[in-house]
Amino acid sequence: MKRTTFITVIAAAAVGLTTLSAMAREGRPDFATLDADGNGEVTLSELQAQGAARFAAADTDGDGFLTQGELEAAARDRAADRATRMLERMDANEDGKLSADEIKHPRRDPARMFERLDADNSGGISEEEFQEARARFHERRGGKKNSDN
């Protein structure tokens, strides 16, 4: 097998294997889109095909590789899609802007988060409490590191 073909297959497989978690985070595509043959089940090959399609869409010059520019463009497109969905979902007065009140979300209440982090109820978060909370978060994410680590 040619080296370029091999690398392309490996990259497409890697994208395919991560496609499901990425789609779950982004909220699309839906089950019907993933179930390409419409048989009521999503197979590994259907996930891999979706991943290969995502790779091909990002590979704008069609050379089988993703450059820094192509990755950045794909990320900008995803960010624009997320911003559009966020406005659609949260813009209560439909003015095309989000106020601080419209963005508030009960799961992201700073006071609630602070209470969880302040394990000893001292009214402050020590470095130890901060590191313990960070470790718990890390464990819940299956050992995956945050991009700021």
Is the pLDDT reported for residue 34 higher than 50? yes
Average pLDDT, the chain: 80
Q: What is the mean pLDDT of residues 76-103?
A: 92
Q: What is the mean pLDDT of residues 4-8?
A: 56
Is the pLDDT reported for residue 2 higher than 80? no
pTM: 0.52
Is the pLDDT reported for residue 16 higher than 50? no
Burial of 75 (0-12, 13-18, 19+ CB in 10 A): exposed
